[in-house]
Amino acid sequence: MTSSLLLGLIGDGISASRTPRMHENEGAAHSIPTIYRTIDISSPHLAEATLTELLTAAIRLGFDGLNITHPFKQQVIGLLDEVDPVAARIKSVNTVVIDSTGRTTGYNTDVTGFAAGFRAGLHGAATEVVVQIGAGGAGRAVGFALAELGIRELIIADTDVQRAEGLAADIVETSAVGTRARAIGLDELEGAAASARGIVNATPVGMKAYPGTPVDTSVFGAETWVADVVYFPLETQLLAEARAKGCRTLDGSGMAVNQAIDAFELFSGEKADAQRMRETFLSF
């Protein structure tokens, strides 16, 4: 068994992340002393640091693993010794395991995390046609997870149409179950949402800094399910309005907790306790 864990999160503006506490508490519960540091490039002393420098420093200082977040999830791929096939397919890594020789392997637990959260929170939800809004960092993971979950037709909208088109093309190219994916313009969003069985928000809309909803919820029927990846706050305006219409909803905590559960197992070789991880996440 791992005797201790030294972990970190590399990203921009991550000081409020709940991930360090989830790993430190879970490590302690498994009698594995765990230190998890945020390595925030918005800190003045890291203003000039490159990802290569930070990764090299972590390897040299004996870190056992790293989580990687915005803006480095794609860039880190080229710096690793090995990349898990799922992460390579979606071109995004959020978890790096560093072995005792310094060898690095990249994984993506955002995909498995969203899928696990969806299975737990929206079990049995209709999978025919789903509209996904947002094709950025979280959106790429969500899109591939939805394809893995067996969504038959995935319609993707993003203010950056090229981003939506790129994600749709990548999903079509790699889907093992033949998911049909296509991009639409924002002018087609309401019409698509009105006839979809499910809606997923993977934009920052709903956060304090981006108030409102990414789509007009008056087009939802009571049988439409609605998922949000935003978790600051957990109850977004989109989810509140959808719930008021009687829709089943899924908040962003499932993805956030399950990505950490899967990463903890990769770092420690131990199964995390899902209930305990969730309680830690919600205790902030």
Query: Residue 207: how many CB atoms within 10 A of its CB?
Result: 14
Residue nearest to ligand NAD (CB): 136
Identified binder of ligand NAD from the candidate list 230, 239, 263, 277, rule CB under 6 A = 230
Torsion of CA 116, 120, 124, 130, to 10 degrees: -50
Q: Which stretch binds ligand NAD (CB under 6 A): 31-39, 50-58, 154-162, 167-175?
A: 154-162
Tell me: does residue 255 bind ligand NAD (CB under 6 A): yes
Tell me: does residue 156 bind ligand NAD (CB under 6 A): no
Element of type H or E holding 68: strand 65-68
Side-chain half-sphere exposure of 226, counting CA atoms within 13 A:
30
Q: How far apart are CA 43 and CA 48, in angstroms?
A: 10
Identified binder of ligand NAD from the candidate list 8, 11, 106, 137, rule CB under 6 A = 137
CA 68 centroid distance within chain: 11
- Whether residue 233 contacts residue 88, with contact meaning beta carbons closer than 8 Å, is answered with no
Q: How far apart are CA 253 and CA 190, in angstroms?
A: 26
Q: Taking the complex as a whole, how short is the minimal distance between the CB of residue 284 and ligand NAD, in angstroms?
A: 14
Tell me: does residue 190 bind ligand NAD (CB under 6 A): no
DSSP single-letter state for residue 207 = B
Active site residue 91: no
Q: Taking the complex as a whole, how short is the minimal distance between the CB of residue 238 and ligand NAD, in angstroms?
A: 11
Identified binder of ligand NAD from the candidate list 115, 133, 183, 238, rule CB under 6 A = 133
Which positions are catalytic? 73
Residues that bind ligand NAD (CB under 6 A): 70, 110, 133-139, 157-160, 163, 202-205, 207, 214, 229-231, 252, 255-256, 259
